[in-house]
C-alpha cells in the first residue's frame, strides 16, 4: 500500500536513546517482580532483535525459553483448551496474554504506589513513550491542517490554532495500563482523553497517578477491547503493547481477529490508529491490515466512482527515529510505531 507521508519536525521528538536496563528489585515471593516483567517484556522483542528473520514457530520457542527462566507464580487459568497434553512452553509463553497475570502485576504496582509513590513499569521505556507521543502530536497536527485546507480555510502553522485543534480530538488509549501515555499526550496538547484496560487494578493505578500528577480530567474505564462496551468512536486510538499481549494468549490468532474487528469500530471515519509494537514489524502490521481490508471488502459492494471496494485502514506513516540494530546483514528495530487512517 502506498503511504501518505508528512514531514515531521525533528525538534518535537526527543533524541533516540537506548533505554537503560531495568534495575533489579526485591519483591515478595508470591508477587511478580519488576525484573521478571522486564525479562518477559524483552521476550516480545525476540524477532525484532534478530532482524525480523525468524518464523513464528521459532519466535515462540525462543520466547518460551526466556519466560521459563522467570519465577512466575502459578496463575489461575483464564482459558480452556481441547488440546491433549499442552506443552509447558506454550503455556509459559502465553502468560502475558492472561488477565490473571496483569491483575497480579498491577496489584503489586498499586501497592508500590501507595507505599513508595512508584508509577510502575513503562512498557518499551520512557524514551519510546515520549517519542510516540510527540510524533503522534505532529502527525495529528498535519491531519488537522489538511482537513482545514479541504474546508477551504486559510490554515497556517500558528501554534495556537494547532493546539486548539488537538485539544478537541477525542483520544482513546486501549490497554492503557498505568495511563502514563495519556499524560504524555496531555503534555502535547490533547485534552479529550480516555484510557481503558481490562484489569481493574490498572485503572485504579492510572486514576491515582493522573490525579497526583495534575491530570484529573483524564477519563479511565474498565473495558476489554475484545468485548468493548464503548458505544462511541474516537478520532485517535492509541495502542502501546496491547496487540502484542493479545497475540501471546493461547488463542492469539482468534483474538487478533477480534481485536481488528473491535478497533475498526472504535476509530471514527478519517480518524487515526497508532500501534506501537515490539513483537510485530512494520511490514507485518501492514500485512495484517491488508488482510483485514481484503476480508472486509470481499463482503462490500464496489464504489461506483473508483470501481473498487473501500479499504478499512490505510497506512499513513511510521516512526523513523527508533534505534536500529544489524543482524545477519539485515537492519531492524526493537520497536515500531505505525499509523493508519480509518477510511
**Does residue 343 contact residue 311 with C-beta atoms inside 8 Å?**
yes
Alpha-carbon distances of 301 from 72, 127, 297, 310, rounded to whole Å = 50, 44, 8, 9
pTM, rounded to two decimals: 0.72
- Please give the pLDDT value at position 298: 78
- Please give the pLDDT value at position 329: 78
Assign 44 to helix, strand or coil. Answer: helix
Which parts of the chain have pLDDT scores under 50?
1-93, 153-161
- Please give the pLDDT value at position 297: 81
Q: In whole angstroms, what is the distance from residue 180 CA to residue 87 CA?
A: 36
Cβ neighbours of residue 252 closer than 8 Å, sequence gap 6 or more: 94, 97, 246
- Please give the pLDDT value at position 36: 43
Q: In whole angstroms, what is the distance from residue 186 CA to residue 225 CA?
A: 22
Amino acid at each position: 500500500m502506498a503511504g501518505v507521508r508528512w514531514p515531521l519536525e525533528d525538534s518535537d521528538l526527543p533524541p533516540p536513546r537506548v533505554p537503560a536496563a531495568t534495575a533489579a528489585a526485591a519483591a515478595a515471593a508470591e508477587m511478580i517482580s519488576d525484573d521478571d516483567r522486564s525479562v518477559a517484556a524483552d521476550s516480545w522483542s525476540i524477532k525484532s532483535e534478530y532482524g525480523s528473520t525468524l518464523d513464528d514457530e521459532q519466535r515462540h520457542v525462543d520466547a518460551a525459553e526466556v519466560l521459563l527462566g522467570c519465577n512466575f507464580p502459578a496463575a489461575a487459568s483464564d482459558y480452556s483448551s481441547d488440546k491433549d497434553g499442552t506443552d509447558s512452553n506454550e503455556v509459559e509463553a502465553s502468560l502475558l496474554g492472561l488477565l490473571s497475570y496483569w491483575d497480579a502485576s498491577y496489584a503489586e504496582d498499586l501497592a508500590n504506589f501507595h507505599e513508595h509513590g512508584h508509577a510502575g513499569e513503562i512498557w518499551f521505556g520512557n524514551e519510546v513513550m515520549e517519542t510516540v507521543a510527540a510524533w503522534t502530536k505532529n502527525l495529528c497536527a498535519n491531519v488537522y491542517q489538511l482537513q482545514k485546507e479541504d474546508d477551504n480555510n486559510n490554515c497556517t502553522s500558528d501554534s495556537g490554532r494547532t493546539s486548539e485543534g488537538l485539544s478537541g480530538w477525542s483520544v482513546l488509549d486501549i490497554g492503557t495500563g498505568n495511563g502514563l501515555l495519556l499524560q504524555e499526550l496531555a503534555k502535547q496538547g490533547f485534552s479529550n482523553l480516555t484510557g481503558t484496560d481490562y484489569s481493574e487494578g490498572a485503572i485504579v493505578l492510572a486514576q491515582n497517578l493522573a490525579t497526583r500528577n495534575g491530570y484529573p480530567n483524564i477519563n479511565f474505564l474498565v473495558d476489554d477491547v475484545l468485548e468493548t462496551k464503548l458505544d462511541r468512536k474516537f478520532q485517535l486510538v492509541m495502542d502501546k503493547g496491547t496487540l502484542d499481549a493479545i497475540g501471546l494468549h493461547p488463542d492469539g490468532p482468534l483474538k487478533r481477529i477480534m481485536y481488528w474487528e473491535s478497533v475498526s469500530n472504535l476509530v471514527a471515519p478519517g480518524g487515526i490508529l497508532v500501534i506501537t509494537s515490539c513483537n510485530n514489524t512494520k511490514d507485518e502490521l501492514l500485512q495484517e491490515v491488508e488482510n483485514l481490508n481484503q476480508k472486509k471488502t470481499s463482503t462490500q459492494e464496489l464504489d461506483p466512482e473508483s470501481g473498487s471496494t473501500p479499504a478499512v485502514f490505510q497506512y499513513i506513516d511510521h516512526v523513523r527515529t527508533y534505534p536500529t540494530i544489524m543482524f545477519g546483514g539485515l537492519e531492524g528495530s526493537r520497536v515500531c510505531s505505525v499509523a493508519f487512517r480509518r477510511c
